[in-house]
Amino acid sequence: MDYRFDVISAAEHDRLEALYEPFAQAMRELVDAGVRTEVDPQTIAEATAAVEAITASLRREQRDGPHAMVHADTRRPVVWANPVVGLRNALAPPLVIEHTDDGRCFSEFTLGAAYEGPLGWVHGGICALVLDHILGEVASGALHEPRYTGTITCRYRRGTPLGALRAEAYVDRTEGIKTFARGHISDGEGITVEAEGVFITPAWARDAG
Amino acid sequence: MDYRFDVISAAEHDRLEALYEPFAQAMRELVDAGVRTEVDPQTIAEATAAVEAITASLRREQRDGPHAMVHADTRRPVVWANPVVGLRNALAPPLVIEHTDDGRCFSEFTLGAAYEGPLGWVHGGICALVLDHILGEVASGALHEPRYTGTITCRYRRGTPLGALRAEAYVDRTEGIKTFARGHISDGEGITVEAEGVFITPAWARDAG
């Protein structure tokens, strides 16, 4: 596979962020409107043609394979294409994950109509997606150390309503190459889904320990 | 919450499908191009404005709350907004789920750049999203009987590559209100992630049994 790897300066990072963030946000609004609109067929047909024209203009220059970027100052990966936290990915709500001094992670975010499973509730798999990500992020020390999901279990205590939500995660313990993380999603009234996961340091990264 | 419930005829179903399917597909292409494009800032800025204009045209008439639709002939829910299988949802790959005579479900689908976690690999949480959905669908008898996820465990045997994939699921056993389902995702070389889940018949649906 054709990988590209770039280290980007803080200035370049901020310039690209200011460019891509409003664009991805516009795409998110479009996706939301796309599942909710009730306009006439003619307007839908026109929207389809207009979206296709925009896509053609974007595809004039595009990457084919994976593209790794690392921030020159923080040395953290810049994961703008990620489907949970990616600044450039319209699939991502996106979650902005905060890291506390004691090693925990949390994020406050909002899920709208495009994330609905049962009527009025977040799709259970979307909860699993969010939890897999935030547990993985806390297990990997804010993405400083590569760790992949080995096993994850989600327990659904009750439905998770669409709207304002919070996710948090922490490392429970570490045993050799295994990091055990726990976390949950909550709404204003408490926990809706809890998760525990085992995250594994990949073989290629074990020597670096 | 303001629910709407419609039973739609086969003809209306097919008319709406022909209208919305190309539109959602165009949005999916846009999302993919959005994470991959390397065009100049001016083109991105123009694309942002153009997307905002389309969204405004779609929002002139849109639903605010959940909207349930049932197909008049099949009596199955029409879940076009669903983030895994939804015809109208650009977040959904979408999976088209086939039901075999012996009660199993399977789907062949393709995941591109917008579903990437580690470079070149599907995000682990996206695998969990797909598995939660297909296990839930087989557990609920093709959505004929409402069942919600109680617990789901995903075991990641190895990375799931971006590209052509297959998911399948079956009911392992049923104990009272609990349905135990199992399934996996595979690529051309075998299983990458396996899952087991317990799905629960909600209290409001238990009398109907």
Residue of A19, A63, A90 lying closest to B36 (CB–CB)? A63
Alpha-carbon gap, residue B127 to A162, rounded angstroms: 22
- Across the A:B interface, residue pairs with CB atoms under 8 Å apart total 282
> What percent of chain B has pLDDT above 90?
78
Q: How far away is chain A from the Cα of B179, in angstroms, using its nearest Cα?
A: 15
Confidence bin at B21 (pLDDT 50/70/90):
very high
* Res B31: pLDDT: 98
Q: At residue A144, does pLDDT exceed 80?
A: no
- Name the strand (E) or helix (H) holding B204: helix B203-206
How is the beta sheet containing A178-187 ordered, strand by strand? A98-99, A105-111, A163-175, A178-187, A190-200, A148-156, B148-156, B190-200, B178-187, B163-175, B105-111, B98-99
Answer whether A125's CB lies under 8 Å from B133's CB.
yes
Answer whether A177's CB lies under 8 Å from A206's CB.
yes
For A21-81, the DSSP string reads: HHHHHHHHHHHHHHHHB---HHHHHHHHHHHHHHHHHHTTSB--S-EEEEETTT--B--TT
What chain A holds in terms of domains, given with CATH numbers, is 1-81 (no CATH), 95-205 (3.10.129.10)
Q: At residue B201, does pLDDT exceed 90?
A: no
B178 bridge partner residues: B175, B200
**Chain B interface, mutation test: which of A25, A31, A61, most B Cβ atoms within 10 Å?**
A31
Is A59–B33 a contact, with Cβ atoms under 8 angstroms apart? yes
Q: At residue B17, does pLDDT exceed 50?
A: yes
Is A116–B82 a contact, with Cβ atoms under 8 angstroms apart? yes
* Res B65: pLDDT: 87
Alpha-carbon gap, residue A145 to A57, rounded angstroms: 37
Please give the residue of chain B at the shortest CA–CA distance from A46.
B54
Q: Which of B148, B154, B166 is nearest to B97 (CA)?
A: B166
Residues B102-136 pLDDT 10s: 989 999 999 999 999 999 999 999 999 999 999 99
- Name the strand (E) or helix (H) holding B117: none
CA distances (Å), origin B57, targets A22, A39, A140: 19, 8, 43
> Of A51-60, B115-124, B138-147, which gets the smallest average pLDDT?
B138-147
Alpha-carbon gap, residue A84 to B113, rounded angstroms: 13
Residue of A3, A23, A44 lying closest to B23 (CB–CB)? A44
Q: At residue B209, does pLDDT exceed 50?
A: no
Confidence bin at A209 (pLDDT 50/70/90):
very low
Is B47–A62 a contact, with Cβ atoms under 8 angstroms apart? no
Those residues with Cβ within 8 angstroms of residue B161's Cβ, 6 or more apart along the chain or in another chain: B120, B121, B122, B187, B192
**A136 interaction partners in chain B (CB closer than 8 Å):** 124-125
Is B47–A23 a contact, with Cβ atoms under 8 angstroms apart? yes
Is B31–A27 a contact, with Cβ atoms under 8 angstroms apart? yes
Q: How far away is chain A from the Cα of B93, in angstroms, using its nearest Cα?
A: 11
* Res B208: pLDDT: 53
Cis peptide preceding B66, ω within 30 of 0 = no
Task: Count CA atoms within 13 Å of residue B135 on its CB side.
Answer: 33
User: A157 φ, ψ to 5°?
Assistant: -75, -40
* Res A142: pLDDT: 66
> How is residue B165 written in tokens?
């994939």
Q: Which of B164, B195, B90 is nearest to A32 (CA)?
A: B90
User: B60 φ, ψ to 5°?
Assistant: -60, -30
Q: At residue B7, does pLDDT exceed 70?
A: yes
- Name the strand (E) or helix (H) holding B64: none
> Of A19-23, A147-151, B93-97, B122-126, which gets the smallest average pLDDT?
A147-151
Locus of tokens 């340091």: A201
- Name the strand (E) or helix (H) holding B75: none
> How is residue B28 written in tokens?
């999916």
Is A80–B35 a contact, with Cβ atoms under 8 angstroms apart? yes
Those residues with Cβ within 8 angstroms of residue A72's Cβ, 6 or more apart along the chain or in another chain: A7, A8, A9, A10, A13
Those residues with Cβ within 8 angstroms of residue A62's Cβ, 6 or more apart along the chain or in another chain: B33, B36, B37, B38, B39
Is A151–B148 a contact, with Cβ atoms under 8 angstroms apart? no
Q: Is the ipTM of this complex over 0.90?
A: yes
Q: At residue B15, does pLDDT exceed 60?
A: yes
Q: At residue B96, does pLDDT exceed 70?
A: yes
Helix (H, G, I), strand (E, B) or coil at B99: strand
Q: At residue A2, does pLDDT exceed 80?
A: no
∠A21-A85-A54 over CA atoms, to 5°? Answer: 40
Residues A177-199 pLDDT 10s: 999 999 999 999 999 999 999 99
Residue of A65, A114, A156 lying closest to B149 (CB–CB)? A156
Alpha-carbon gap, residue A143 to A137, rounded angstroms: 6
**A51 interaction partners in chain B (CB closer than 8 Å):** 23, 26-27, 29-30, 51, 54
CA distances (Å), origin B59, targets A45, A113, A122, B73, B128: 15, 13, 22, 31, 32
**B159 interaction partners in chain A (CB closer than 8 Å):** 148
Q: How far away is chain A from the Cα of B101, in angstroms, using its nearest Cα?
A: 26
Q: How far away is chain B from the Cα of A124, in angstroms, using its nearest Cα?
A: 7
